[in-house]
Every structure is written in structure tokens, then in C-alpha cells.
Chains A and B, each alone.
Chain A
Amino acid sequence: MTLLFLQSYLTYGQESSVFIYHVVKSDEKVSQISKFYNVPEDSIRRWNSFDSNFRILPGMKLMIRKQLIVSNRVLINDNLKSDSIPVEFPSTFDRIKNIQVSETVDAKGKVYLPLLSEPVVANKQSFYDIFLHFYRKANYLIKIVLFLNLFFLASVISMLIVILYRRFKDSYVDFKRTKCQDRYRDFITDWLYEEHTSFVPESLLQELRDWVNRDVFTSELLSLHANLTGDSADKLVELFHLAGLKKYSIHKASNSSWNVQAKGFRELAQMKIEEESKLISKNLNSENEVLRIEAQMAWIQLNPNDPLSFCDDPEVNLTEWGLLNSLVALKKIDAVPDFRRWLSSANKSVALFALKMSGVFKQFDNIDWVTKRLDDLDLDIRHEAICALGKMAVPSPGNRLRQLFFTEWSENKTEIIRSLIMMSDSSNVPFFEEVLLTETEISLRILSARGLVSLDSIGEERVNSLYEEADPVLKTIIIHAKDERI
């Protein structure tokens, strides 16, 4: 509706018109008709769609367009006689119908002929005729708008049909799913507790040829497997193979659609189908982030001996989301790799990952390598190294962290204090005290007061003595820091 103005653009200054029919008399020529109505010959030819060679014949009805000048009346030539049968255009129809006979002579004595004094041919025409007539005579803009209108109308109807179809399809699939879901769940549970399970009934194999059934069965099996370990998990892997689902997972992993492929990788990894890891390796550096992460997660699970080999030479940067997922995958395998290999990686994202993981898995042997990265020019690398040292909570790099504090950015300063707190080292007392008394940033002062409080009796004692001599702001900071609820 915002575009209602478009209409006004096309309404002002447009000349409205009526068409009348002229019945050709014997020996009459186009030029005579042209003069008679005071319209160009070319226009008559155009209105009636004939070329210059066409000859008119007696009795023929020619369409003549007459322009309207006055809104309520139709001005026509004085010499228009009754052998001309007027036909009104739909737009003028109502207007013409309302013309009063008394209005046929105006103040200047010009003759205005009410067109409806003659039988109106248009009334006998069908809507289709009027439409066709309108369309033929319409200019390109009108035709475009007309087509667009029809297109929109068709679109709305099509969308309605699409919605109906989708709803119907969904209901059907849901019906099929609910029908088999409980049955499959029972079958899989029974399979777990049966002693001799090396045979899948033919009827089930037949059912699994249908994609909906197969999808339900696979997802039930995978979700149960995700919560199991040891023999039970292995039994489900066996069922997966016996039910012939492996080939479908391989098909998925080779699919051209990336989202299907990613699902395939997940299934292959969970069902430990190691022989297909080549298929996965192709996508370890995929441009598609989702596919890449799924491939990397699958790779970690299928290659426990060297799960992070893709970090050696990554073509694409690792994302935080990727790291998070890799961590989940790493926790699923028994052996965690030594991250020292990547701690000095030139690739920033890999180095960040290695620093993070060194902290998470508390790889104390890597402390020196992590500490070295405190000298890195990159702010994020230094930040992650500080965090990793904090996670390890070993006091040895404390001195280096304290030195670093005075040259660091605000965000890293906060992290240094947090890491030092985690180290619980009494040698940090003078440092915390200095920060508490000299720093301008309130949050750092609160943290350092917390650091003192965390050092039990030594720190507590120092805090209490500081409190006695403190100004009101410092007092509030100390009270805040001592309050364990905050």
C-alpha cells in the first residue's frame, strides 16, 4: 500500500477517451473518414490494426477514438451523426451513463451529445471481449502491470497449494515415523540384551529400504549408541552393519549436498567405519565451515593415533566453534595428543587451539613452551597463554606474569590477576597489594583484593591491615572483595 502514490502518478494529465464505431458507406475512403472525425488517417489504421495497403469495404465497422475534454461530458464533433455507434470504454461507462439530456447544450452553444442516446454496444460484450479490447489497446506499461498482477495472483494461489502439500507430506511422514519409532526402539533394546544376536529379520531389512523407516532406525540406533560404551556400544555397531546401514552412510558421505555429506561423516565416525576415513580426509580443509568441522570431528574419532594431523598444515583457520567441537571429539577418544607440536605453529588459530588444549588437559610438560608465547606480539596469543597458565595453576611462571602485567593491555591485565589467583602463591602478596593501591581501574583493584583474600591467613591479614588505613573507596573495594556472595 505504500505504493499507492504510483497510481496518482499515472492518473493526472492522462487523456481519457471513448471509442465509437463508424459504419463505412459505399465509396467512402479512409481520408474522408479522417476528415469527418478530424483524426489522422494513421490513427484510424492503427486503432483498427490494418496497414496502408488494406482497403476498407462498405458495411465495415471502424473504430474511432474520440478524446474527452470535460469530465462529465463527452465532446464530440458537430457533424457526428447517428450512423456512428458509440461504444464506451469501461472507465467512462459509468460517467457516460449519468449524462443528462439537459446537458447536451452548454453555455457557449456547443453541442454535446449524450452517447447513451444510442444503443450501447459494450453492454452486449462479454467481460472477456472488454478485457481483450483493453489489452490490445494498452501500452507496454499497462501490459507489464497486468502481467505482474496475474503473476502475483498465481503466486499466492501456488503458495497456498505448496503449504497444503507440505502439510500433507509432513503429516504422512510423521504418521510413518510414529508408527515405526517405538517398534524400532524396542527391537534395538532387545538386541542389546539378547545373547545370540547375529541375525536381523528379513522383514526388517525390507522395511529399512524405505528412507523414512531407515532414517528413524538409524537415528534411534545412533542416539542410543551415544550414551553407551564398551560391549553394548559394540553390539550396536554390529547391528548397524548387519542392518546394511553402512552403505547408506557411505552414500551420504559421498553426497553432493554438503549437509547430507556432513551427516554421513557423523554416522561413519560414530560407527567407527575407519576404512572410509579417506573420504573424510578430503574435507578436512573444506571451505564449507560446517563440513570442515564435521570432517575434523570424524577424523579425530577415526584416527586416535594422530587425531589432530589436520592441524599440521591447515589451509583454513580454525574457528572457536570448531575448537569447541574438536574438544568434544577429543574427550571421546582415550589418548589425548601432546599439544606441544602445535604450540609454536605459525598459524594463529592452531597456536590458540594448542594453548587452549594445553590448559584444558593440564599438560604441565608444556609450561615452558606456553610461557614462551607470553612474549608473542599478538595480543590474543598472549591472552590465551595467560589463560592456559592459569588453568594449569602452577606457580612457576608467576614471576613472568607479574612482570608482564605492567606492560599489558587492560583485558590481559585482568586475566593475569585471575591466573595468579588460581596459582595460590603467597609470593603474589606484594603484587596484589601494589595493584590494589596504585591501579586506577576499579575492576582490577577488586580482583587484586580478591587475590589477597584468596591467600588465606597471609592475604587476609594484609587485607585487614589495609582496611584500617583505607579511604572510603578502598574500604568498599575490600568489603566487596571479601563478600563471597558476589
Chain B
Amino acid sequence: MYELIKILNFLIENGIFVYAIAIFISYIVMAILSGTEMIRYMRKNSFVDYSAIISSPYAPPVTILAPAYNEGNTIIENIRSLLSIHYSDFEVIVINDGSKDDSLKKIIAHYQLEKVDFMVNYVIPTKPVRGVYKSTNKAYSKLLVIDKENGGKADSLNAGINISNKKYFAGIDVDCILEEDAILKMIKPILEDSQNRVIATGGVIRIANSCKIKDGKIVEINLPKNLIARFQVLEYTRAFLMGRMAWSRLNGLLLISGAFGVFDREIVVKAGGYDRNTVGEDMELIVRMRRYMIENELKYKIVYIPDPLCWTEVPDKVKILSRQRNRWTRGTMETLFKHMTLFFNPKYGNLGMLGHPYWFFFEWLAPIIETIGIFYFILVLGMGNPDWPFFFLLLGFTYLFAVTYSAWAIIFEEFTFARYRRKRDVFRLLVISLLEPLFYHPLNVWFALRGNYDYLIGNISWGKMEKKGFTDKKKIKK
């Protein structure tokens, strides 16, 4: 027994040590890769004339798919925002996923819709479509509304894919606010690569809490007043500017946010569309698309661009945040376990040898190992006699590393898009970076643990999300 404890002890100590070193190194490598990629991108796009795409007859056609469920309060404004996108050949398909509120009625009345006899081709199986609506007003000719039975976000997107007939589609959350040139910027990487087929592009999601909105557009960017939302600004900046840019460079991206991404319709259909049985449908689709391309020996690429293209409202209450993070954890687990065949499988290149293992060890396992570490430390505290100076030295190291990493993210933002123009906002972000490891991070670890528990007991619920919307008090008075 004693020997067993000794072995266990050895394994925990050394395993954790190696894990910690690996995670530190991975963060540093990612920061370096992101930095170089960002510099390259910013230089490259410093004088791009996007009007070339707008005026070109060869700009690929794009469908914007916006699933909506009980969005009655904001849906009119949201659709208006989507219709004002700058692009030559696009259509907006809003999918009413069996809303229980008056969303559909409102859309029909406001956009002068009437039912059309649409022959729905169920290339991807979905819940039945109850009706397809088009506007009698030519001004809204780009709008098409699908009314279907409730089946969830993935099911709604699949219904939209079935009805769309354009080469590319952009999957978005209907309550997101897109920058006017969002589609132009997302399409450009697709046009740039002659060697590989770019099957998906993703852009940076930014936080719209406390921003001022007018006519469905962001007119004033502010740092959220709410502390929980403010923590997420830092978190999103770090994740998008430092994480995903690096993965894009390695062509190892496993996730394009469900809030906004552009996809090659043909490949999505061939890969089987969105999985309706997961709460992480965005990540799962990307993994499946990549698998499809590799298994069919097709050269492909998934690209991420650092431009802030989509603004979304994030949870500003701990309870809502916990539901969201819980769902993210379950979604990650579902995707990772569903595609375990990728795990260190050289046949899948970067996806198998880098992307999947990274998510497995450093995204899914991180909160679990962290918790084990804390419990182990408490155990040691009770049994032995810790070297306190060294403990505080390491604690300082961990803390300062986290703060420095966040500060780098702020620097990246400052040198690229600098959307928070007020000086005090940058300082607030720096203060947030000091507080985050102490308050926000432990919360996230707890939510992730709850997500693991819920996954194990088979909880598959989406979790009710409450959003204030942009059309009430935050809207500028005309």
C-alpha cells in the first residue's frame, strides 16, 4: 500500500510538473505565433481596397443564416442590421425555430412577408419546415424567413443550409451585430488561396455590453460597466487575438465561433451538416469538415482573421455565465470524445497530432488538473511542512505569468485595432488583468467542473440564456 502511495505521489508530482511546463510553453509559443501572424495580417491589409469585391461580378455569393428562438424583442432591429451589410451578392435567411413568442408575427408584419410555395430539399435531415416567407416589398428582396418546428440551433442552421443555394454561408447568432464590411473581410481569405480550398473563415467576436447602438450598428464602443462582462472582454481578447490566430497559422483551428463564421456550403453538406445531438455544434462541425477533407485527400485550409467583425452581448450575471460555460465544457467534451480517433493520429496531420491533443489536455483537462493540484496541495499542507518562501515565489510566478499574458493581449489589441480609444479603458483592462486570476478564473474552473459533472450524468440541455438585447435603454435616443 505504502509503495502504491509512493508511486501515486511520484506520478502526481512529476505529471503536474511536466503538465505545467508544457502549458507554459504552449502559451508562449502561441503568443509568438499570434504576434507574427498579426503583424503579417495588419501589414497585408493596411491598404486593401475592399470595394474591389463589392463592385466585382466575381465576388462569391453568400447567404447569412440567422437562427432565432424567442427573439421577439429585438428581431426587427436585428434583421435590419443584417440587411444593411455591405456586399454585392448576398441573402439573409432568418430561421424561426418554433419560437413561442410573437417573433414570426412581428417579422411578417414589419417586413411585409407572405408565404411562398418553396420546394424544400432536405439534403440534411431537419425538423419539418412549416413555411417559407418572402417579402412583397422589393426593398427586402434579400430577406427570406423560414418557419420550422423547434429543433435547436444546429437544426435551424441545417434547415437554412437546405434552403440556401449560394456557394458560401455565414452562420451567425441573430442577436449579434455585424460590422458592415464583415462579409467582405471574411471572403477575402477564401479568394486569396490558390493552393488550398478555404472551407471556413472565422473572425473576432467582440463584446457589445455597454456599447451604444443606433439602427443596428455600433456607434460608440465602451468597456462594459459590469465587472463580469469586463472580465470577458479580456478573456475574449486573449482567446481570439492570441489563441485562434496562432492556430490559424498552424492550420490547426478546431473551432470557429457559432456567433459568426463563413463556411463552404458544399463541404458542410458533404460532411453532413451541423450535428443536432451536441451542444457544441460549432466546434463539432469544424472537426468533421476537417476530417472529411483529410479522409478524401483534399487540400484545405481554415482561416482566422483578427478583425473585430461581430459584436455580441455576453452574460453579465454569474448564473448565466455558469450556464454558458457549462455548455461550452460539455460541447468540448462531446466533440473530443466523438472524434477520439484523431487523438495523436498522424494520418490527420496537425489536427490529429496537435489540435485534438491540445484541446484534450489544455482545454478540457486543465480545470480538472488544476483542481487536483489544489486538493493535493491542501493534502500536503496537512501532512508535511511546505517551503513557504518557495510556495509564494511560485504563486507569484503563476500569477505574474497570467497577468503578463493578459497584458500581451492588451498590447496586441492596442497595436492592431485599438477599439477602446479612451485611455482609462486600457488602464481598466490592465486592472482587470490583475484581478482576473484571483476572482474570474476560479469561477470558470468551477463552471467547467460542473460541466464535466453534467456531461457524466448525461445532461444535454442548452441552458436558458437571458440577454437584455440592444434595443432598449442602450439604444441611443434619436
Residues of A within 8 A of B (CB): 1-16, 68, 71, 89-91, 134, 142, 145-146, 148-149, 152-153, 155-156, 159-160, 162-163, 166-167, 258-259, 262-263, 266, 289-290, 317-321, 323-325, 327-328, 349, 356, 360, 411, 442-443, 446, 473, 476-477, 479-480, 483, 485-486
Beyond A5-B369, A68-B385, A480-B119, whether A159 also contacts B407 by CB under 8 A is yes
CB distance from A467 to the nearest CB of B (A): 12
Closest to A441 in B: B121
Residues of B within 8 A of A (CB): 9, 13-14, 16-17, 19-20, 23-24, 43-44, 46-47, 49, 52-53, 55-59, 116-119, 121, 132, 134-136, 165, 188, 190-195, 266, 366-367, 369-370, 372-374, 376-377, 380-381, 383-391, 393-404, 407-408, 410-411, 414-415, 423, 426, 430, 437-438, 441-442, 445
Query: A328 near B441 (CB under 8 angstroms)?
Result: no
Of B52, B397, B414, B426, chain A has the most CB atoms within 10 Å of the CB of: B397
CA distance A82 to B470 in the complex (A): 76
Closest to A157 in B: B407
Closest to B198 in A: A320
Closest to B408 in A: A159
Query: A320 near B19 (CB under 8 angstroms)?
Result: no
Beyond A9-B13, A145-B394, whether A323 also contacts B442 by CB under 8 A is no
Chain B interface mostly? helix
CB distance from A246 to the nearest CB of B (A): 19
Query: A3 near B24 (CB under 8 angstroms)?
Result: yes
CA distance A327 to B366 in the complex (A): 51
Query: A9 near B191 (CB under 8 angstroms)?
Result: no
CB distance from A20 to the nearest CB of B (A): 18
CA distance A167 to B441 in the complex (A): 30
CB distance from B446 to the nearest CB of A (A): 12
Of B188, B383, B384, chain A has the most CB atoms within 10 Å of the CB of: B384
Query: A480 near B117 (CB under 8 angstroms)?
Result: yes
Closest to A89 in B: B389
CB distance from A243 to the nearest CB of B (A): 21
Q: In the complex, what residues of A have CB within 8 A of residue B398's CB?
A: 1-4, 6-7
Query: A7 near B394 (CB under 8 angstroms)?
Result: yes
Q: In the complex, what residues of B have CB within 8 A of residue A327's CB?
A: 52, 56, 58
Closest to A319 in B: B194
CB distance from A339 to the nearest CB of B (A): 15
Q: In the complex, what residues of A have CB within 8 A of residue B411's CB?
A: 159, 162-163
Contact of B373 among A4, A318, A360 (CB under 8 A): A4
CB distance from B131 to the nearest CB of A (A): 13
Contact of B119 among A259, A325, A477 (CB under 8 A): A477
CB distance from B164 to the nearest CB of A (A): 11
* Sample (13) of A-B pairs whose CB atoms are under 8 Å apart: A2-B441, A4-B370, A11-B377, A11-B380, A71-B384, A89-B389, A145-B394, A159-B411, A319-B193, A442-B119, A480-B116, A483-B118, A485-B135
Q: In the complex, what residues of A have CB within 8 A of residue B388's CB?
A: 90-91
Closest to A17 in B: B387
Beyond A5-B369, A5-B370, A323-B58, whether A10 also contacts B391 by CB under 8 A is yes
Query: A443 near B58 (CB under 8 angstroms)?
Result: no
Beyond A12-B384, A266-B47, A320-B191, whether A134 also contacts B400 by CB under 8 A is no
CA distance A90 to B391 in the complex (A): 12
Q: In the complex, what residues of B have CB within 8 A of residue A156's CB?
A: 400, 403-404, 407, 430
